[in-house]
Amino acid sequence: MKIHEYQAKEIFKRYGIPVQAGEVANSPEEGKNIAEKIGKPVMVKAQVLVGGRGKAGGIKYAKNPDEAYQYAKEILGMEIKGIKVKKVLVTEAADISSEAYIGVIVDRKTKKPVVIVSQAGGIDIEEVAKTTPEKIFKLEVDPLLGLQSFQARDLGSKIYSDFKIAAKAADVIKKLYFAFTENDCSLAEINPFITTPKGEVWALDAKINLDDSGLARHPEIESMRDKDAEDPSEMKAREGGLSFVKLNGNIGCIVNGAGLAMATMDLVKHFGEEPANFLDIGGSSSPEKVLNAMKIILKEPNVKAILFNIFGGITRCDDVANGIVQAVKQLKPPVPIAVRLTGTNEDKAKKILEKVNLTATSSMVDVVKKAIELSKG
Amino acid sequence: MSILVDKNTKVVVQGITGRDGSFHAKQMKSYGTNVVAGVTPGKGGESVDGIPVFNSVKEAVEKKGANTSVIYVPAKFAVDAIYEAADARVKLIVCISEGIPAIDMLKVYNYLKTTETRLVGPNSPGVITPEVAKVGIMPGQIHKKGEIGVVSRSGTLTYEVVYHLTLNGLGQSTCIGIGGDQIIGTNFIDCLFLFEKDPQTKAVVLIGEIGGTDEEEAALYVKKNMKKPVVAFVAGRTAPPGKRMGHAGAIISGGSGTAEEKIEAFEKAKIKVAPTPAEVAALIKEELVLIQQNKPNT
């Protein structure tokens, strides 16, 4: 799950990472009020869960509350990469001497948390890694020991020659590491991390991505979920225990298992059509799950045929067949259905399907071809 | 021969009194697996389908000689279950549980490196040596004893490939589901190393998917270190970037982890990549024919 900058900054504050005064506004009036409260020039920043806000004109410098009102009005409602801006963060503007990068990630390759720092802040770190990799410093942390102070000092001195500033950076690096591990982040990032002419340091931006598997133990973070940013069907599926990703093709896919679901989508494409979605009904699927899956898929107007690809293991084919029968009777789907059932209780399942005049095949290739043919009416 | 699981495997089922644990304990036993014990703290003294239940893994090891653990407990208890099994010094832990936080797995992985215990998973369908023993949740009947090693990040997709292998008369030495999570105990390379050494295995099927770079590393490993042929399949060519495709580990991020990159890496390493799951069997047959032809005449 991703959270907004203003939410990530709330978490940063809890850990003592220096974040400037600011509040989130839903309207130009609110934006003006916040700017008045701050009493200094402010930045008005679009809160959207995609990168490239600045380039899209979603970040503006306002000298006074009236300008803050004006910019908030401009930015609220604007679209950035297809996403409508519904909130802006109004925050004190900073006098910037230097910009650096500090980040922590879960590194799949080394199986360790890795702290990344760079003097090249304020720009896309992946771009820095490509063009000037010598400007990036990485430290693999032993997760059993955690980040030690000397390691943080060492990283701080990699980006600042002034020892005082390096020490302040080291302090932030340690705090960011704690915030990262204690909140089950997959990424925690300050870009840019800035210094001012007075020798202050600030986290000017904040980005946190959460590990979905860790969310259950952080209800306060789960409550930060931006429900507007999520596709309504995807949200419904998640709440119903289904894994669903919306795509743009015509063939609705209902599959058990994530790998088989992806392979099914690929096979649809292989035979010249596009899948409408990824949908994994998971193991031990009950008839209700199948019914829910059908409901979600039938909401998509572009779906021209529904394809079931079930390889029974823990999932029993007869459970799925019962679900299909229920769904056909209740939902009266306006599009044709092609079914593949192999494995546990396959024969029983095929008999059940006869009730609604469906013939299931045992082959994945056959069912994909059949669904494509049916979709063309 | 086989890898990881064989006739000497003595299984303890952690979470045996739960819904999944009890069901699969019975299934494993009826497949012929030597399931010697189960563990559920507080339920010691009970039994499930004739399998004695103990309060701790240590007891199961001491009293029944368990050397392999399979974990069916809910995710929030699974990390403790892994540490407990490692502490009781079982050789192999197979973790079926899905949804363990990555931060916890980083600790587990680095801790287990200091022990003699190997972890397969989490979020794994298990390990099966056909007609000998199954430790996990896969349907036993689709497998057949033979010479093909199978290693995969997926569950049902593996069944699909195995089903076609068996239909084509290609039995399996051992099939391993290494798990769909980001941080897993045993990776492709670990399994490839074991298959290369295993005299029963003649060729290997590797089933990858989007996310991470394990497939790319496996491709390099095969090129440098393996004499036995490997055939690959990669799922997720149509997956959009930035979206998690069911498995926690199946996500294309920052433009890396795509199916195209992985397929290219395999092709560079002269590993044949099947365009569909069903075509894996035909490619394996081709490789076996090549082995026959290259054998010196005796």
Q: Where do the structural domains in chain A lie, given as residue ranges?
A: 21-92, 98-222, 230-375
Q: Which residues pair with A112 in a beta bridge?
A: A107
Indicate if B142 and B110 belong to the same structural domain: no
Residues B103 and B192 in one domain: no
Band of pLDDT at residue B243, cut at 50, 70 and 90: confident
Q: Is B291 within 8 Å of chain A by CB?
A: no
Q: Do B177 and B252 fall within a single domain? A: yes
Inter-chain touch B110–A342, beta carbons under 8 Å? no
CATH class, A98-222 region: alpha beta
Question: Do B245 and A262 make contact, defined as CB atoms within 8 angstroms?
Answer: yes
Stretch 283-312 of chain A: residues touching chain B, C-beta under 8 Å: 283-284, 311-312
Please check whether residues B68 and B195 belong to one and the same domain.
no
Give me the residue from A143, A262, A268 closest to B107, CB to CB. Answer: A143
Tell me which chain A residues have a C-beta less than 8 angstroms from the C-beta of B151.
Answer: none
Interface of B with A in 96-115 (CB under 8 A): 99-103, 106-107, 109-111
List the single residue in A243, A266, A342 with the smallest CB-CB distance to B236. A266
Cα→Cα distances A92→A34, A38, A52, A68, Å: 10, 7, 21, 11
B254 is in which domain, residue-wise? Answer: 138-298
What are the phi and psi torsion angles at B140 (to 5°)? -65, -35
Render A268-330 in DSSP notation, one character per residue. Answer: HHHTT--BSEEEE--SS--HHHHHHHHHHHHT-TT--EEEEEEEESSS-HHHHHHHHHHHHHH
Report pLDDT for A209: 95
Closest to A286 in 3D by CA, of A232, A226, A240: A240
Handedness of CA B181, B183, B186, B191 (dihedral sign): positive
User: In angstroms, rounded to a whole number, what is the distance separating the alpha carbons of residues A73 and A88?
Assistant: 10
| Other CB atoms within 10 Å distance of the CB of residue B174 | 27
% chain A with pLDDT above 90: 84
Asked if residue B130 is part of any domain, the answer here is no
Phi-psi map region of A92: left, alpha, beta (phi>0 left; psi -120 to 50 alpha)? beta
A185 min Cα distance to partner chain B (Å): 8
For residue A108, name the pLDDT band (cuts at 50, 70, 90). Answer: very high
Q: A30-61 in b/e burial notation, b at 16+ Cβ within 10 A? A: bbbbbbeebeebbbbbbbbbeeebeebebbbe
Cβ contacts below 8 Å, chain A against chain B, sum to: 172
> How far is the C-alpha of A147 from the C-alpha of A138, rounded, in Å?
13
pLDDT tens digits for range A146-179: 999 999 999 999 999 999 999 999 999 999 999 9
d(CA A336, CA A373): 10
Q: Which of A108, A266, A268 sits opposite B182 (nearest CB)?
A: A108
Nearest to A313 among B99, B156, B235 (CB): B156
CB spacing of B103 vs A211 below 8 angstroms: yes
Q: How many domains does chain B have?
A: 2
Does A259 touch chain B if contact means CB atoms closer than 8 Å? yes
**Predicted interface score ipTM higher than 0.90:** yes
CATH number for region A21-92: 3.30.1490.20
Q: Which residue of A has its CA nearest to B112?
A: A144
Among B123, B152, B167, give the residue marking a domain's end.
B123
Is the pLDDT assigned to residue A329 strictly greater than 90?
Answer: yes
- What was the pLDDT predicted at B294? 83
The CATH number of the domain holding residue B212 is 3.40.50.261
The mean pLDDT of B76-82, rounded to a whole number, is 97
On whether both B109 and B148 belong to a single domain, the answer is no
pLDDT in tens, A52-62: 888 899 999 99
Query: Final residue of a domain: which of B98, B123, B148?
Result: B123
Q: Which of B137, B153, B128 is nearest to A314 (CA)?
A: B137
Cβ–Cβ gap B213/A108 under 8 Å: yes
Q: Which residues in chain A (187-246) have CB-CB distances under 8 A to chain B?
A: 211-214, 216-217, 243, 245
From CA A152, how far away is CA A174, in angstroms rounded? 6
Coil, strand, or helix at residue A10? helix
CATH assignment of the domain containing B71:
3.40.50.720
Asked if the A230-375 domain carries CATH number 2.40.480.10, the reply is: no
Closest by Cβ to B239, choosing from A142, A262, A268: A262
What's the pLDDT band for A284 if we cut at 50, 70, 90? low
- Residue B77 domain flag: yes
B198 and B274, same domain (yes or no): yes
Quick one: closest CA in B to A280, which residue?
Answer: B246
- Give the nearest chain B residue to A262 (CA atoms): B236
CB contact under 8 A, B245 and A245: yes
Q: At residue B34, what is the residue type?
A: N
Q: Would you state the pLDDT for residue A321?
A: 95
B119 and B152 share a domain? no
A270 and B109: CB-CB below 8 Å? no
Q: Are residues B192 and B276 in the same domain?
A: yes
Q: What is the pLDDT of residues B9-55, one digit of tens each?
A: 999 999 999 988 999 999 999 999 999 999 999 999 999 999 999 99
Q: Which residues of A fall within a CB distance of 8 Å from B161?
A: none
Interval A210-253: pLDDT, tens = 999 999 999 999 999 988 777 888 888 888 888 999 999 999 99
Claim to verify: residue B2 and residue B110 sit in the same structural domain: yes
Q: Single out the catalytic residue among A69, A101, A160, A177.
A: A101
Taking the C-alpha atoms of residue A350 and residue A230, their distance in angstroms, rounded to an integer, is 37
Q: Is the pLDDT of residue A138 over 60?
A: yes
